[in-house]
Amino acid sequence: MGALISLVAVAAIVLLASVGASTGDGLRFVFGVILPGVAFAVFLGGIIFRVVHWAKSPVPFRIPTTTGQAKSLPWIHNNELEAPSGLPGVIGRMALEVLAFRSLFRNTRVEILPEKSKVNYIADKALWAAAMAFHWAMFIIVLRHFRFFVEPVPAWVEMLQSVDGFFQIGLPVYYGTTFLMVVGLAYLLARRFFDSKVRYISLPTDYFALYLLLGIALTGIVMRHIEKIDVVQVKAAIVGWASFQPAVPVGVGLWYFVHVTLVSALLIYFPFSKLLHAPGVFLSPTRNLANNNRVRRHINPWNPDIQGHSYAEWEDEFRDKLKASGYALEKE
Amino acid sequence: MAEKSPQELIQIDLTPPPRKWMNPAVDFEARRGTWSYPGGVKSLDYLGMPNVREWSPTDADWKLPENWQQIIHDGFKDLLKKYRTLEIFMDICVRCGACADKCHFFIGSGDPKNMPVLRAELLRSIYRKDFTATGKILGSLAGARELTEEVLKEWYYYFFQCTECRRCSVYCPYGIDTAEITMMARELMNLVGLNINWIMEPVANCKRTGNHLGIQPHTYKDNVEFMCDELEDVTGIKLDPPINRKGAEILFVIPSADYFADPGTYTFVGYLMLFEHIGLDYTLSSYASDGGNFGLFNTAENMKKLNWKIYHEAKRLGVKWILGGECGHMWRVMHQYMDTMNGPADFLEVPRSPITGTVFENTTSTKMTHICEFTSDLIKHNKLKLDKSRNDQFRVTFHDSCNPARAMGFLEEPRYVIENVCNHFYEMPENTIREHTFCCAGGAGLGNDENMEMRMRGGLPRGNAVRWVRDHHGVNRLTCICAIDRATLPPLVEYWSPGVDVSGIHELVGNALIMEGEKERTTDIRGVPVQPEKGEQDDV
């Protein structure tokens, strides 16, 4: 049900863009220039607002989750990447988490065999592999798009393209990342449909993000390989947009508008949704703090000024019993 | 004990039902055995908690304050301002489901709301409705729910069905920590008078007497003397441990269960034998008579208050530093919270072993060292006379307690001690130990009898792993460094893996120690006759 509603929503966006692109220059300007501009502003502004908001809220306690041996006695080998004792370890741990999805790599699947009274834990790296494929592919694809934004095309983008298109399949060359992004997304979507547990926890919005991303990838593929687009016109339109001299894009075709509108929708949706996991992971206190609690005092800015039940109160209450038991007392 | 047999209980289907999870109804009557009784009036009054009354979860009317929705809303807002964790964890979950089958309660019950992601969604759905634009506009499409009384009841059921073990947070790609979320939910529930007695009574006891069990100072002394008498029968040596002694070098803080009930008491005498053996200048305290802190499972405020006495007593007694016994959640508090809440401990000195001269560089600020750090340093420097063969009747495995493993990174120290005091040590399967360790399912205040079915269910993963080493290596001793474990693992292994005993590590240390002037040991420190090694036992 949720999956369907989200599909309808994404379809509506596609339809809207298509209609807009085919009705005339006015709406073309809206969909090709204004919407992406607004979307970009909302995206940037929204993320900055969120991150600043998070960063302003206090971290009262230092609560890293340790996943390896801490630094203790000098002859015990410690694991800086799993239980960092200081900043270098934290940076390493975060780098592994952000770049290699370290925690997801631990994933296992549980299996209960009642007839054998047995519980098994089976390594399950599929989610990790799909997540890595999708995220890295998308990241590289975004970088590749820089060729549309700057003239001349920077050398690093050229290099990225040639590595990405290493296998030289088809003309124009099929990029490896295209394949990885679509396969990764397809797997992430498929498990929401077919893994009963993931289906149960999925919200309509979870499908929405995946549909948007798939839509963006597929329209991109269409423009590059099927209804081939005039890249020169596209670049003219985008460079104009990026240098604040926008004009109605001409000769770019319908798919361009659909693609751009889906990207705009994603950008607008981003700061209001779970997609915030991207900046959020950097601020997660169970990962980005050192496990040096007993070495450096962590300050809680709102540490309440309260005391416990004092020794004097305790002694007062149990004075007779303490005396009878022969305890030395503060006050006789 | 749970009424269902292990064979019945293990018939678990992990496939969730087709209906949506957003329906909050919980039938408490039908689910007896899986929830805990509410906080008692006496304890709540003593602590000055809000909305004190007699009630039961099976009642239709939970006698909430009239404006309870407003109270929860305001409380939520307040917590969001105080804890970055809460904001981040509410905002960034993508529901990838990596955590889903990592929770012992989900594995043992198949109840989908025990998937950590859904446990968090119970709170998150209210957060969305009250505090986010998408939730306000899109409602249930964005996963938002109205806070109804039914939702609150669901919170009570599921947030007192989480042991705050943090196993899920190991697997979460963003480190979302359900323990933190559960703590927040419990803070909120406390505002309207929803809490459980197995937490509130210990908290009240601890405030008044210094320990969760409500042991008063004269009884404390009697218990210690009684244990020393028992030990004299075994070793021929009479110990006279100092209590509340001013000017001692070290204050030794332990969980109260260690001087209250078996098998913790054997761990306790193990500590005392060790200290006698090395001639340590230390003192116990019948005021700071519990390092454990059920405030951790209640509210941040009560946690701080209960912990406050530790430094207070260290100062009063004029000790140089603090040594702590084997306890899991106590060490979570000592390691991650104490210095922040009640420090700085600038009146203490950096812990230094008077026997080996080792300075414990990892405790320079808190000034509190773990007994396993202390003992492993002694062993490393060859300061203990040990006869490992005195533990030959035991085939030992080690249960990593949740908090030392996942909040301290405390993995090797206990293993080093075990390997030096016994000859037969076998690890459980790797997905069930170290940072992957499974909870005893009785932590965070859930180790009560009325919750026994849920404890046995949640205990399935641990019990199954113990069974595996029992069947493959003949393991008959499950060691741990946690007082709650020592109380909750015995019924768990009796249920899932009979024939295995539970003990602390310092009980094995006590067995192995060759004490000066001791008589020949014919029994272990439990008084159980030592069986001579039967021929060769092949190590499987």
Q: What is the CATH number of the domain that holds A154?
A: 1.20.950.20
Q: Residues of A with CB below 8 A from B112's CB?
A: 197, 200-201
Rounded to a whole number of angstroms, the distance from the CA of B451 to the nearest CA of chain A is 22
Determine what percent of chain A is predicted with pLDDT higher than 70.
100
Q: Which residue in the set A71, A103, A318 is minimally distant from B175, CB to CB? A: A103
Domains contained in chain A, number: 1
CATH of the domain at B70: 1.10.1060
For A123, the domain range is 2-324
**Taking CB atoms and an 8 Å cut-off, how many pairs form between chains A and B?**
324
| Own/partner pairs, B224-230, CB within 8 angstroms, 24+ separation | B224/B259, B224/B284, B227/B259, B227/B265, B227/B268, B227/B269, B227/B272, B228/B269, B228/B272, B230/B269, B230/B527
Cβ atoms of B321 and B369 closer than 8 Å: yes
Q: How high is the pLDDT of residue B5?
A: 94
List of chain B residues with pLDDT < 70 = 1-2, 532-540
B169/B114 same-domain check: yes
Residue A98 CB neighbours (<10 A): 15
Domains contained in chain B, number: 2
B534 lies in some domain? no
Taking phi over 0 as left and psi of -120 to 50 as alpha, with beta for the rest, B95 belongs to left
A308 lies in some domain? yes
A332 lies in some domain? no
The owner of tokens 């120690």 is: B513
Residue A310 touches partner B, C-beta closer than 8 Å: yes
For B384, the domain range is 204-512
A329 lies in some domain? no
Q: How high is the pLDDT of residue A41?
A: 97
- Compare all CA atoms of chain A with the CA of B309 and give the residue at the minimum distance: A308
B237/B185 same-domain check: no
B537 lies in some domain? no
Residue A250 touches partner B, C-beta closer than 8 Å: no
B536 lies in some domain? no
Q: Does the distance separating the beta carbons of B96 and A131 come in below 8 Å?
A: yes
What is the C-alpha to C-alpha distance for residues B538 and A35, in angstroms, rounded to an integer? 75
B187/B219 same-domain check: no
Average pLDDT over every residue of A239-256: 86
B540 lies in some domain? no
Average pLDDT over every residue of A275-289: 97
Of the CA atoms within 13 Å of residue A267, those in its CB half-sphere come to: 18
Q: Which of the listed residues B159, B194, B229 is the one where a domain comes to its end?
A: B194
A59 lies in some domain? yes
pLDDT digits (tens, 9 = 90+) for A294-310: 999 999 999 999 999 99
Taking phi over 0 as left and psi of -120 to 50 as alpha, with beta for the rest, B247 belongs to left
B117/B80 same-domain check: yes
Residue A190 touches partner B, C-beta closer than 8 Å: no
Taking phi over 0 as left and psi of -120 to 50 as alpha, with beta for the rest, A182 belongs to alpha
pLDDT digits (tens, 9 = 90+) for B55-66: 999 999 999 999
Q: Report chain A's C-alpha Rg in angstroms.
A: 28
Rounded to a whole number of angstroms, the distance from the CA of A332 to the nearest CA of chain B is 15
B388/B304 same-domain check: yes
Q: Looking at chain B from residue 273 to 292, which residues have their Cβ under 8 Å from any Cβ of chain A?
A: 286-287
Q: Does the distance separating the beta carbons of B243 and A72 come in below 8 Å?
A: no
Rounded to a whole number of angstroms, the distance from the CA of B362 to the nearest CA of chain A is 5
Residue type at A297? R
Residue of A10, A50, A57, A72 to mutate when probing chain B, most B C-beta within 10 A: A72
B158/B268 same-domain check: no
What is the C-alpha to C-alpha distance for residues B41 and B37, in angstroms, rounded to an integer? 12
B480/B506 same-domain check: yes
Residue B309 touches partner A, C-beta closer than 8 Å: yes
Nearest in space to B108 (alpha carbons), one of B461, B490, B466: B461
Nearest in space to B84 (alpha carbons), one of A51, A49, A59: A59
The owner of tokens 């019990």 is: B463
Q: Residues of B with CB below 8 A from A285's CB?
A: 84-85, 88, 175
Cβ atoms of A201 and B115 closer than 8 Å: yes
Cβ atoms of B513 and B488 closer than 8 Å: no
Residue A69 touches partner B, C-beta closer than 8 Å: yes
Cβ atoms of B307 and B337 closer than 8 Å: yes
Q: How high is the pLDDT of residue A244?
A: 85
- Compare all CA atoms of chain B with the CA of A125 and give the residue at the minimum distance: B98
Q: Which of the listed residues B169, B194, B219 is the one where a domain comes to its end?
A: B194
B37 lies in some domain? no
What is the C-alpha to C-alpha distance for residues B127 and B521, in angstroms, rounded to an integer? 62
Q: Looking at chain A from residue 79 to 138, which residues have their Cβ under 8 Å from any Cβ of chain B?
A: 79, 82-83, 85, 97, 101, 103-104, 106-110, 112, 114, 117-119, 121, 127, 131
Q: Does the distance separating the beta carbons of B341 and A72 come in below 8 Å?
A: no
Residue B131 touches partner A, C-beta closer than 8 Å: no
Residue B373 touches partner A, C-beta closer than 8 Å: yes
Residue B512 corresponds to which tokens in the numbers above?
């192995």
Q: Residues of B with CB below 8 A from A196's CB?
A: 15-16
Q: How high is the pLDDT of residue A54?
A: 97
Residue of A309, A310, A321, A323 to mutate when probing chain B, most B C-beta within 10 A: A309
Q: Which residue in the set B102, B360, B410 is minimally distant from A70, CB to CB? A: B410
B208/B156 same-domain check: no
Global confidence as pTM: 0.96
A245 vs A143 pLDDT, higher one: A143
Q: Which residues have C-beta within 8 Å of that of residue A330, sequence separation ≥ 6?
A: A311, A312, A315, B316
B438 lies in some domain? yes
Residue A61 touches partner B, C-beta closer than 8 Å: yes
Q: Which residue in the set A108, A205, A294 is minimally distant from B142, CB to CB? A: A205
Residue A228 corresponds to which tokens in the numbers above?
């081939």
Residue B304 touches partner A, C-beta closer than 8 Å: yes
B394/B481 same-domain check: yes
B185/B247 same-domain check: no
- Compare all CA atoms of chain A with the CA of B460 and give the residue at the minimum distance: A119
Kindly indicate whether the ipTM for this predicted assembly is greater than 0.90, answering yes or no: yes
B147/B230 same-domain check: no
B1 lies in some domain? no
Q: How high is the pLDDT of residue B321?
A: 98
A287 lies in some domain? yes
A243 lies in some domain? yes
Q: Report chain B's C-alpha Rg in angstroms.
A: 24
B226/B159 same-domain check: no
Nearest in space to A188 (alpha carbons), one of A121, A260, A274, A250: A274
B35 lies in some domain? no
